[in-house]
Amino acid sequence: MTFLLLAFILATPSAQADRGARAETRQHRRAYSQLQEIADGYWRAVRWDKVAEAAVFLGDPDDRIDWLAEGTVEGTFSYRSATVIHLEMGPGLVDDPDGYERRATVLVEIEGFDSDQVLKRQVRVQRWYKQGGSWYVVAGERVGVSRQ
């Protein structure tokens, strides 16, 4: 009798919704953790001017090839540090026109020297997307966009 009651409770729509919500939460946490690790690795490569390592995370093949051909991260700018300070990740996407599984925004605090040798600190915003189980930088945002 107890087994039947438990089976009935677990079969109710609210129990199924709870399981679905927990599964979505687990997927969100996994995707967030994966993005954190990948973004940290990407910015570590950018900070040390390792273009080939960083280019792996550019989803657009043309953008990747252009960056590899240039051979430098950001011209005359010399990074002193680059730290991911915040991630904003959207929900899982279904039937996205671009084929993305998720979208995210990464905030990065950078410090470095430009050609004038003055230390500059700024926060940059960079958009990422998940496709095929991995995260990639949106085309044109290799080093993010300066946030005023």
Q: What is the pLDDT of residue 27?
A: 75
Which whole-number Å values give the CA distances from 64 to 37, 68, 112, in the listed order? 20, 6, 23
Q: Quick one: DSSP state of residue 101?
A: S
Please say if the pLDDT value at position 70 is more than 80: yes
Q: Which tens digits make up the pLDDT trace of 88-112?
A: 998 888 888 888 999 999 999 999 9
Mean pLDDT of the region 39-66: 93
Task: Identify which has the larger pLDDT, 86 or 29.
Answer: 86
Q: Which tens digits make up the pLDDT trace of 21-49?
A: 676 778 778 889 999 999 999 999 999 98
Instruction: Let me know: does 93 contact 102? Beta carbons within 8 Å.
Output: yes
Q: Which tens digits make up the pLDDT trace of 120-144?
A: 999 999 999 999 889 999 988 988 8
Residue 135 CB: number of other CB atoms within 10 A? 24
Contact residues for 56 (Cβ-Cβ < 8 A; gap 6+): 64
The Cα–Cα gap between 79 and 107 comes to 16
Task: Identify which has the larger pLDDT, 116 or 25.
Answer: 116
Which amino acid is present at 28? H
Please say if the pLDDT value at position 59 is more than 70: yes
